[in-house]
A and B are shown apart, each in its own frame.
Chain A
Amino acid sequence: MTDDAANLKKTPLNGVEHELGGKMVDFGGWELPVQFSGIIEEHAAVREHVGLFDVSHMGELTVKGADALTLLQRATCNDVSKLENGRAQYNGLLYPTAGFVDDILIYQNSTNDFFIVVNASNTDKDYEWIADAAKGMDVEVRNVSADYAQLALQGREAERLLQPMTDVALAAMKYYHFGIGKVDGVPAIVSRTGYTGEDGFEIYVAPSEGPRIMRKLIDAGAKPCGLGARDTLRLEAKMALYGNDIDETTTPLEADLGWIVKVDKGDFFGRDVLQREKSEGPRRKLVGFEMIDRGIGRHGYPVVDGSEEIGVVTSGTHSPTLKKAIGLAYLPLDKSASGTEFMVLIRGKETRARVVPTPFYKRAK
C-alpha cells in the first residue's frame, strides 16, 4: 500500500494535515483526513463554534464568453438567469435522461463570466460534458482546479474569526453570495456557502497560500475537521452527496430537489423527462429516515417488503446531534410519506425504520 499512498493526489494542505495528526485515507484517489480528534468532537465544534475543512480536492471550472449564460442554461436544470453578479447558485448538471452528471455551485462574476465548483471525482467528466455542449458557441470552458486551495470555515463563529483576516465585508454578505478581495493579504474568493447546515464561508486562494491561511485560522480557534464530520454534518442538513444519494441514474425530482428544477426557463438537457415526472410523479423519492430498531442503515443496504426489494439506502450514519441513527433512502412514491414504516436489511436482518421530515437538523436563525 506504500505505492498506492505515493500515487494518491495530495491537496496543497496535505503537509499541514500530517503535522496536525490527521488520520489520512484514500478518498476517491485523494489523500485526505477522515478525522483529527474524532468525528463526534469535530461535528460538535462545527455545530457549536467553528470548524475548518480542507476541500481543495473539489474541482473548479470557468465558463467565459458571450454565450456563457446560454451554455449554462442548456446544461443545467436551475435557472441561471436568476443569478446576479456576486451570487452563487446550487444547480444540477444533467444528461438528456435527466440523470445527474454532477451537482454543482455556479458563481456569477458577470453574465459572460462564471466560476463553477464541482465534485472532485467528477471534475474531468464535467469539464468534458460542458466543453462538448459548448461546441459552436462563443464560450471558453477551462478546468482551473489546480489554481486553487479551498477551505471551508463552518460554524456560527466563522464570521468573527475570518473578518479580521479579510477586507471582504462579511456581515453584509448574505447566504449564497460571494465577494472577491484579500484573505491574509492575498487574492481570494470568499462565499457564504457550505456543506454543513451551519453559517460559514468557503475560501478560495492560490495553492501556495493555503497552508499559511489554514494555520492562521486554526490558531484563531477553528477546529480542524475531516471528511467524517463533513459527512455527518451534511447528512443531518440533508445535503446530497454525489455517488451516494444522486448519480447518473437519479433525477433531481426523484432526489427531492424539485426546487432546482425550472422547466419553464427554456430548453435544457433532461427537460422532457422532468416535465413528465412533474405531471405523473417520479416513480421513487429520496426520503429521510430514522431507525426504530437498533442498527444503522448504511449506503447500499436494501429496503425490503417481504421478499421484494423495494428501495435502497443511499446514506446512513449515527447523527451526533440527534444521537440516533438517520439516513436517506429511495422509496416508491406511495411509501414515501412521513411516518411510513419500512424494513432495512442490515446484514441479513430486517430492521425497522420510519420516514421522517427533513432536514434532520436545522440551525436556529
Chain B
Amino acid sequence: MTPEDNRYAKSHEYVHPEAEGDLVVIGITDYAQKELGDVVFVELPQVGAELEQGDEFGNIESVKAVSELFSPVSGEVVEINEALTVKPELINTDPYGDGWMMKMRLSTPEEVDEMMTAEEYEEYVEKESAH
C-alpha cells in the first residue's frame, strides 16, 4: 500500500511531512525498492548539506546495480538514518518506516504540494511498469 499522507516524486522518492511544519522524512518507495532488489548499502549526504530540488544526494547499491538518489525537495539535511549503515536491508523490508533515509528542513515548502499524491503515484507506477 502506498501511504496516503506522503507525496511522491517521479524518481520514486517519497516525502513524509513531520508534525513540525517544515520538517520532512525522505526515502524511496516500495516500488523503487522492489525494482532495485536486495539493497547492500546506501551512501547518504552529511548532516548540514544544502540540497536543491533534483540534486543527487547519494547512491544506493543493490546486488545487481547502483542507482543515484535525487532530492525531491530543496532544503537542509538535518538527520540521516544511521541504522542503514549496518542494516541497509531495512530499505527493502520497511521502505516507508525504518528504511527512511534522511530528514530535511524545507526551504521551499511549496515544492511538496506540487508532488504526486499516493493515488497519482500509483497511476504513474502502473503506467511505467506496463512499459
Selected from A1, A2, A232, the residue in CB contact (under 8 A) with B63 is: A232
Does A317 have its Cβ within 8 Å of any Cβ on chain B? yes
Docked complex Cα distance between A2 and B127 (Å): 11
B40 at interface by CB-CB < 8 Å = yes
- B100-131 interface code vs A (CB 8 A; 1 in, 0 out): 00000000000000000000000000000011
Residues of A within 8 A of B41 (CB): 294
**Contact among B38, B61, B130 for A296, CB-based, below 8 A:** B61
Number of cross-chain contacts by CB at 8 Å: 37
Which B residues touch A38, using CB under 8 A?
Answer: 37-38, 92
Query: How far, in whole Å, are A294 and B66 apart by their CA atoms in the complex?
Result: 13
Alpha-carbon distance between A150 and B96 when the two chains are bound, in angstroms: 41
CA distance A106 to B119 in the complex (A): 55
A35 within 8 A of B: yes
The answer for the CA separation of A228 and B41 in the assembled complex, in Å, is 17
Residues of chain A contacted by B61 (CB below 8 angstroms) = 295-296, 318
Separation in Å of the A309 CB from the closest CB of chain B?
20
Interface residues on A, range: 10 to 19
Report which of A228, A231, A298 forms a contact with B66, defined as CB distance below 8 A. A298
At the interface, yes or no: A347 with Cβ under 8 Å from chain B?
A: yes
Is A320 an interface residue when CB atoms closer than 8 A count as contact?
Answer: yes
B59 touches A317 (CB 8 A): no
* Nearest CB of B to A292, in Å: 15
Contact residues in A for B37 (Cβ distance below 8 Å) = 34-35, 38-39, 228
CB contact under 8 A between A320 and B63, given known A39-B37, A39-B38, A228-B37: yes
Return chain B residues, CB-CB under 8 Å to A294: 41, 43
**Which chain A residues (31-74) contact chain B, with CB distance < 8 Å?**
34-35, 38-40
**B43, closest chain A residue (CB):** A294
| Count class of interface residues, chain B | 10 to 19
Contact indicator A40/B59 (Cβ below 8 Å) = no
Per the bound structure, the CA–CA distance linking A40 and B92 in Å amounts to 12
Give the chain B neighbours of A228 by CB distance below 8 A.
37, 63-64
Proximity string of chain B (57-71) to chain A, C-beta cutoff 8 Å, 1 when within and 0 when not = 001011110100000
Which residues of chain A are within 8 angstroms of B131 by Cβ–Cβ distance?
Answer: 1-2
For A317, give the chain B residue with the smallest CB separation. B63
Evaluate whether A347 and B59 lie within 8 angstroms (CB atoms) in the complex, with A2-B131, A228-B37 already known: yes
In the assembly, what is the distance between CA of A296 and CA of B64, in Å? 10
Nearest B residue to A228 by beta-carbon distance? B64
* Between-chain CB contacts (< 8 Å), 6 pairs: A38-B38, A38-B92, A39-B37, A39-B64, A296-B61, A318-B40
Residues of A within 8 A of B (CB): 1-2, 34-35, 38-40, 228, 231-232, 294-296, 298, 317-318, 320, 347
Q: Give the interface of B toward A (CB within 8 A).
A: 37-38, 40-41, 43, 59, 61-64, 66, 92, 130-131
